[in-house]
Structure 1
Amino acid sequence: MRLVLALIAALLALPAMAQQGPATLVADRIAFDEETLTAAGNVEIFADGRILRARRITYLRDEDRVVVEGPLTLLDGPDTILVADFATLGADLRASVLQGARLVLDQQLQIAATEIATGAEGRYTQLYQTVASSCEVCAANPVPLWQIRARRVVHDREERQLYFEGARFEVAGLPIAWFPRLRLPDPTLERATGVLAPRFSADDLLGTGVTVPYFIALGPSRDLTLLPFVTNTETRSMGFRYRQAFDNGAVEVTGAVSDDNVLGDDLRGYLFADGTFFLDRDYRLEFDLELASDETYLLNYDITEKDRLDSRLAITRVDREDRFLAEIVAYDTLRAGESNRFLPTPVVTVERQRREPRPVLGGDLTWTLQAHARRRAAETVPPDLPMNAARDVQRASAAVDWRRTRVLDAGLVATGLAGLHADAYNVQQDPDFPDDPFMRAVPYAGLELRLPLARGTPGGVRHVVEPAAQLLFTPGDRRRTPDEDSLTPEFDEGNLFAISRFAGRDRRELGNRANVGVTYTRFDPSGWQTGATVGRVWRNADLDQFRDGTGLDGTASDWLIAISGGFEDRFQFTQRALIDDALDVSRAETILRWRGDRHALETRYTWLESDAEAGRPLDTSEWEMDAAYDLGVDWTGRVNWRYDFVTNDASRAGLGLTYRSDCVTVDFDVERRFTSNDDLEPSTKFGLGVELAGFGADDRRKRRRRCGI
């Protein structure tokens, strides 16, 4: 019967509706004469993308109007819902007056009004005597957590803006602030010029203040955010962030200029910038700039804990067979007692590396060419610094590496290794090296054997054991070279079978040696994976290449023991240690990451023996932890901690609490920094941020809506 009535209505075709396109009316009962058409019972009208649902409607032909008796619902596009008790509408459902109405935008913001009027063009909607909130309102909690009462609200659908007149902001029914006029974005707008959520803070050094960000949309691909910050101790700061996207890249610039009492009357500040651009033939231009006015500014304003800034300009290209790098790096130290005159600046590197696509002697051949230079501004060295503190170095390097792998009987995997690394140096201002250029060449050859063994169980569990041994033959006597990029050699399961365990090219690992290890891995179909690696390096002679504490000194290295486990992306555990024959530990690290439905935990323990040449005059024994827990009912707690077991003092500790519901986010945190030096005192910082949902794009509608806190 409803289908028949719908066809009759379509034949009558409400005239005004037909001008915009076909209109359809569906109802349980339809009656009409020459002047009116009345539909009752589960009425629905579809017109030009709008849907009207009501109990009863009457169409007046002479006035070309629709009178609706509610309760009624008008769906105007995917983001706007109107609910009312009574309405009169134009035939296309645009021009309308609704009484006892409620406007819902993007399933987030609700605006209740005594009357809602929409113009014939459909752009502006006016609401009178309104109450706006994104909080759920129900019988148990009739007063929302927050609401804005206003005499009139105008919604501009085209600009996606809400204009409030005579607005009063209330929290739990209590008036907090009054605004004669107020403009806010509607929930569908992602970018708009205006004030963002403020952030309140209290600091022992800077005082109690507030940051009020102001976002400026400069176009579809550019924006600027200003971050004025003022405190009760006369601290004044203006921060900014500029972003721009291009067809072939993007840039971001952040910085601030501050006037405070920390260093007297001097202006302080910082500037960071970075960007990436894609060039022709897959080349990339990359740059980053890091500048700070003084040693403590970045810590005082909680920007970063970096104590050496590096600025870089580079052109790179990486594909399946080739890698190209051309870069220049400049350093700026923030460490007390360290001078930029004795840091290498600039550092210039140009490198080309290629893997030949066709086999060479049946194996893979990779060659590398590099030009490298580093210069220091200092020309003389004070008595308290090493004689090479003003050293300048230029180096040209060439390397060829070849390997061929074959699988022998019984699954034995044999790999032949060979290569040659040659370097030409020009060193100035270092009495340990001649002023004339000199060269060094390090050839090597080797054989690596692996025997992967696998076993499966009826339950689907797989066990894989792989013993491996690598024999390397390298000259033990080569000319000494300046070392600046290989001061901190590493020894872990990632480079147990590396040709050289030095990080850079200034040093090459010398002497005949055997790298031996065994790896075990267990794969469980439930998602668990566990593994362990044990390895060691034996040498035929101690060439005094590695310092104590690296685990690589002597004719036999420390035992490398690494254990790992994980379950999908929810749990990861890693433990690695270097242990000598006397069971003394030179290095150890434990990392645990555990993420569940209600918690997230990441903790790390690090132990390192002292190494003065690596800038570590004391032992390091440090524990770090970052954790968050869902306390329930929209509350989340956070804690972070860093403890130094050598000094038996905490270096940093913090607590945080976040309330995030469908209509508001409140974020509170407190952090204490215990470390100090001549320029930096221990300090405590408090922070408070409040953000209202429903204004600007948000994912809050995905959250479960409910009443109360």
Structure 2
Amino acid sequence: MVRKIILTGLLSGAVIIASPLATLSGAGMAYGQTSPLGKDINFSADKALYDSENKRVIVSGNVTLYQGTTVLNADKVTYDETSQEVRAVGKVTIRDDKGNILYMEETVLKDGLKEGFIRNVRLLFSDDAHLAAREGVRTGKRTILKDAAYTPCKTCNEDGKRKPLWQIRADEVTHDEEDKVIRYKNVILEIAGVPILYTPYFSHPDPTVHAASGFLNPEFGTSSELGLNVTIPYYFSLAPHRDLTLEPLLTSKEGLVLGGTYRQHTGNGQFSVSGSIANAIDSDNFLSSESGREIRGHIFSEGKFDLDNLKLIGDQWQWDYAARWVSDDTYLRRYYQDRSDVLKSHAKIENFTGRNYFSTGLYVFQGLDEEDSGGLTGQALPAFDLNIETTPGKWGNQFTLDASGASILRTAGIDTQRVSFKSAWKLPMKTQLGDFYTITASLRGDAYHVSDAALQDQPIYGGADGTYARVLPKLSVDWNLPFIKNSLTSQQIIEPLVSIIVAPNNKNSFDIPNEDSRNFEFDENNLFSHNRYNGYDRWEAGTRVNYGVRYSLYSGDTTIRTTIGQSFRFSSTETFPVGSGYEGKSSDFVGRLDVILGDYLDYVHRFRLDSSSFSLRRNELILSGGSKSIRVSARYLDLDREKTDLTNTELENRKELGLGLKYLVNPKWTLHGSWVQDILKNDTIYYDAGVLYKDECLEFGLSYEKRLTSDRDITPSSIFHFRLVLKNLG
């Protein structure tokens, strides 16, 4: 009878065509201008039948139904015109436009696949998390599941196979596609199959949500200063372009430390504000109270913004700022393990135009070392830098112009204003022999104004009231001649290098204070530099020759590079820091060796040899080696300055040894540890150890740290830290 109806329908053009992969719509149907499976539902299938007596459409074999952005696949689908129900059986899946997929044995749907009953269902989300349930109901954009379990962990459906590492079981789970939230009733959290937490209600955003308000993963710890402590962050999604995170730190010894971070995107940039406040014990230098407690805290803010309205006078203008303040020196170390010794704040404007750069701004510093005094800390109010560089000419010649200035002010100390200019002309050359020359001619000038010099706290850095000017012309020639030997598997390069710098002996005047050139160090990095001071207040004058040799070997995954050299000055009238290796006419020999053996070994050796005895005055070794599963690191530092008179210098002897280990037990488990020893004092400075587990759905970390140094209210302490992250739950 059915066969007869089909044939009659085919002849009249009014009933469904029964052919493989036929997509049928209302255009050829006898019962109107709609799909045989309901309004706006199109389909394809291997076979399609129409039962006119019961008014049912039956499609089977690779069935696919399309309704808007929803796609249903099944082995067999029956559509009842009277009840307008779609009944799908056999490997049924429903996919939405977000990539979420419902798997089930059987479903009955109405209203264009929007409502209906589902049985033995599994909902696979776009991030591979899934919900499994005995049965459920789909109503519009909501799916309600009974006796359900949610987990982002990988599982195996076969009996006796792997179970999820953690899952949430609930009597009822509702997934609302409109507000994109998954809600649970009567919830049990299981880890490794063991129930550890119950709550009557729980919810979290589905994987399509980029950010939603809610609790983030807590962190637990214990330390000698704070006792037991836990951080429980809560995230507020205020709008697509701004959010707020509250980060309260609860401690057993100090009480509550309230912290938080606000972030916002403004369209032309973004900024953030973070801070904390505590009614703390012990310290007595900020808002003390009779109760023996005091208010301590910090505030940090930073931002960066484009200045579109200034682009007419340059390629790119932007301004940025960073504001950092803390109530006292040890607060950040005590509560946040932040070991900064100075906080830097600034507000500056920058321009990038071609090869040129300009910036100007205000720079403020807060020293956190015990010897720092706020009134003696210099603040740059303001400072500017200008760098202009021309396009290389026909022979590669190039002009540069640099300008810089700063006004260093103190509330109870010396004040300095400086303006500096430097112009240079550079010409690179190559001869037929294969050697390379770079000729540079430059002229630098500085102008200073100094006041309140009598308040200088460190006389070794000079300073006298008055106005001063100085000029330094300089001519230099840099030469190198690489000798290259190639083979089938390797390349070797031997490269002698020489720099000749000719300049008058314009000695640094101690009437000009040294604000920015105090950290002088002579090593292989500045061996061929034309000025080894890292600031403007001191310059390197006089005629000198820098010479050395560099060797490189490249063979497959093996790389070996080494450099050694020395500097010779024709006059020793200029005084460099004692113990720096640059005293007298002949400097110490400085060098470096790098050895890289694929992924198995990375070795760096930096050294400085006494110019007369060739004994080691600096010996630094950094080693990292091992396999993919185990990695060992070691660092040894020996700065020997005992052979010199250390008066009027801040350079000190140091000898330290540090060891580290990272062991990848398997792709999920990692062990790590480190240890630092002061060899001169025969004291351990620091050591730690920890374990980390991480897979697709869980991250777990446990670490122990022993700190043996002291600083005012920071005492030697033991710190335990515990972290547990459940994917999608924070």
TM-score past 0.5 threshold: yes
Residue 448 of structure 1, aligned match among 459, 478, 498: 478
Per mean C-alpha deviation after superposition, the further-off stretch among 489-498 and 590-599 is 590-599
Q: Distance in 1 between matches of 2:396 and 2:169?
A: 80
Query: Are the aligned partners of 2:464 and 2:513 in contact in 1 as well (CA < 8 Å)?
Result: no
Structure 1 match to 2:288: none
* 2:391 paired residue number: 357
- In structure 1, the partner of 2:234 is 214
The one-letter code matched in structure 2 to 1:465 is: I
What is the rounded CA distance, in whole Å, between the counterparts of 2:583 and 2:168 in structure 1?
Answer: 71
Match of 1:416? 439
Give distance in 2, aligned partners of 1:212 and 1:33. Answer: 62
Which residue is equivalent to 1:382?
none
Q: CA deviation at 1:535?
A: 1.0
Which residue type is aligned with residue 473 of structure 1? V
SS at match of 1:5: coil
- For 1:625 and 1:213, the matched residues in 2 are separated by 34
Would the aligned equivalents of 2:443 and 2:471 in 1 still touch at CA under 8 Å?
yes
Match of 2:552 in 1: 521
Secondary structure, aligned partner of 2:530: coil
Partner of 1:473: 502
What is the CA–CA distance in structure 2 between the aligned matches of 1:8 and 1:348, rounded to whole Å? 74
Give the letter aligned to residue 402 of structure 1.
W
Quick check: 1:14–1:91 contact (8 Å CA) kept in 2?
Answer: no
What is the Cα deviation at residue 658 of structure 1? 1.6
Structure 1 CA distance for aligned equivalents of residues 519 and 18 of structure 2: 81
C-alpha spacing 1:219/1:605, structure 2 compared with 1 (3 Å)? farther
2:542 corresponding residue in structure 1: 511
Deviation track 1:49-92 (CA, whole Å, cap 9, x = no partner) reads 43333333322122221212334232333532212222102373
Which letter maps to 1:430? A
Are 2:272 and 1:252 equivalent residues in the alignment? yes
Aligned-pair distance for 1:544? 4.1
Q: How many pairs were matched up?
A: 677
In the alignment, what sits opposite 1:374?
Answer: 408
d(CA) in 2 for partners of 1:337, 1:498: 33
Q: Which residue of 2 aligns with 1:321?
A: 355
Match of 2:6 in 1: none
Given candidates 48, 71, 75, the residue that maps to 1:51 is 71
Asked if 1:668 is matched to 2:697, the reply is no
Asked if the contact 1:599–1:630 (Cα under 8 Å) also holds between the matched residues in 2, the reply is yes
Structure 1 residues 400 and 74: CA distance shift in structure 2, 3 A: same
Counterpart check, 1:405 vs 2:428: yes
Counterpart residue type for residue 648 of structure 1: N
Secondary structure of 1:493 counterpart: coil
1:317 aligned partner, one-letter code = N
For 2:86 and 2:64, the matched residues in 1 are separated by: 12
State whether residues 634 and 659 of structure 1, in contact with CA within 8 Å, keep that contact through their aligned partners in structure 2: yes
C-alpha separation between the residues in 2 aligned to 1:612 and 1:656? Answer: 44
| TM-superposed deviation, 1:240 | 0.6
The answer to whether the 8 A contact 2:618-2:640 is kept is yes
Match of 1:270 among 298, 301, 305: 298
Corresponding residue for 2:22? 7
**Residue among 110, 115, 118 paired with 1:98:** 118
**Alpha-carbon distance in 1 for matches of 2:351, 2:426:** 24
Task: Tell me the CA shift for residue 295 of structure 1.
Answer: 1.7
Q: Please give the alpha-carbon distance, in whole angstroms, between the structure 1 residues aligned to 2:353 and 2:620.
A: 34
Structure 2 Cα separation of the partners of residues 236 and 270 of structure 1: 15
The root-mean-square deviation of aligned C-alpha atoms, in Å, is: 2.7
Q: How far apart, in 2, do the equivalents of 1:74 and 1:308 lie?
A: 58
Q: Is the 8 A contact 1:446 1:470 kept in 2?
A: yes
Look up the match of 2:130.
110
Q: What displacement does 1:411 show?
A: 1.3
Identical-pair percentage: 27
| Local SS of the residue matching 2:332 | helix
2:563 alignment counterpart: 533
Cα deviation code 1:414-465 (max 9, x no counterpart): 2222222111121123356553312111112222222122221123x22222
Letter in 2 for 1:338: D
**CA offset digits 1:624-673 (Å, max 9, x no partner):** 45543321162122223333222222222222212222322212112111
Q: Specify whether residues 375 and 612 from structure 1 end up closer, same or farther in structure 2 by C-alpha distance, changes over 3 A only.
A: farther
- Higher mean Cα deviation, 328-337 or 258-267? 258-267
State the alpha-carbon separation in 2 of the partners of residues 569 and 284 from structure 1.
41
Larger RCO (alpha carbons 8 Å, 6+ apart): 1
Contact 1:64 1:91 survives alignment (8 Å): yes
Aligned match for 1:495, one of 522, 526, 543: 526
Q: Give the aligned partner of residue 185 of structure 1.
A: 205
Amino acid at match of 1:398: F
Q: How far apart are residue 137 of structure 1 and its match?
A: 3.8
Matched, 1:309 2:343: yes
Letter paired with 1:33 = D
Conserved 8 A contact 1:205-1:262: no
* Structure 1, unpaired ranges of 5+: 379-389, 697-709
Please list the CA deviations of residues 98-130 of structure 1 after superposition, one character each: whole Å capped at 9, or x if unmatched. 0122222225322222222112x3x21111222
Tell me the amino acid that sits aligned with residue 492 of structure 1: D
SS in structure 2 at match of 1:409: coil
Q: 89-98 vs 648-657, which deviates more?
A: 89-98
**Relative to 1, partners in 2 of residues 1:246 and 1:573: Cα closer, same or farther, differing over 3 Å?**
farther
**CA 1:210–1:475 in 2, change beyond 3 Å: closer, same or farther?**
same
Distance verdict in 2 for CA 1:9–1:328, change over 3 Å: closer
SS at match of 1:181: strand
If the length of structure 2 is used for normalisation, what is the TM-score? 0.86
2:419 is equivalent to residue 396 of structure 1: yes
Task: Judge conservation of contact 1:576–1:588 (CA < 8 Å) in 2.
Answer: yes
**Residue 191 (structure 1) shift:** 0.4
Structure 2 CA distance for aligned equivalents of residues 357 and 144 of structure 1 = 63
User: What is the Cα deviation at residue 225 of structure 1?
Assistant: 0.5
Letter in 1 for 2:491: R
Q: Which amino acid aligns with 2:383?
A: T
Measure the CA separation in 2 of the matches of 1:296 and 1:60: 75
Q: Relative to 1, partners in 2 of residues 1:52 and 1:407: Cα closer, same or farther, differing over 3 Å?
A: same
More displaced stretch, 665-674 vs 593-602: 593-602
TM-score of the superposed pair, with normalisation by structure 1: 0.89
Specify the SS of the correspondent of 1:19.
coil
Q: Give the counterpart of 1:31 among 38, 49, 52.
A: 49
Contact 1:187 1:695 in 2 (8 A): no
Q: How far apart in 2 are the matches of 1:633 and 1:443?
A: 61
Mapped partners of 2:572, 2:560: distance in 1 = 35
1:542 aligned partner: 572
| Segment drifting more, 578-587 vs 498-507 | 578-587
Measure, in 1, the Cα distance between the counterparts of 2:666 and 2:395: 65
Indicate if the aligned counterparts of 1:549 and 1:608 stay in contact, CA closer than 8 A.
no
CA distance in 2, matches of 1:685, 1:590: 29
Change (3 A) 1:596 1:30: farther
Gaps of 5+ in 2: 1-16, 284-291, 455-461
In the TM superposition, residue 40 of structure 1 has moved relative to its aligned partner by: 3.9
- The Cα shift of 1:305 comes to 0.4
Query: Are the equivalent residues in 2 in contact too, given 1:488–1:614 (CA < 8 A)?
Result: no
Shift of 1:8: 7.1
Q: CA deviation at 1:265?
A: 0.7
The answer on 1:619 being equivalent to 2:619 is: no
On the 8 A contact 1:106/1:187 being kept in 2, the answer is yes
Q: For residue 306 of structure 1, report the CA deviation from its aligned partner.
A: 0.8
Secondary structure of the residue aligned to 2:696 is: coil
Q: Which sits farther off after the overlay, 498-507 or 82-91?
A: 82-91
Structure 1 partner of 2:7 = none
Q: What residue is the counterpart of 1:385 in the other structure?
A: none
Letter in 1 for 2:420: S
Q: Is 1:337 the counterpart of 2:357 in the alignment?
A: no
Shift of 1:509: 0.8
CA displacement 1:298-336 (0-9 Å, x = unmatched): 111134101222211222223443121212221212211
Tell me, yes or no, if the aligned pair for 2:691 and 2:703 is still in contact at 8 Å. yes
What SS class does the counterpart of residue 410 from structure 1 fall into?
A: coil
Counterparts in 2 of 1:50-89, with a 5 A limit? 50-89=70-109
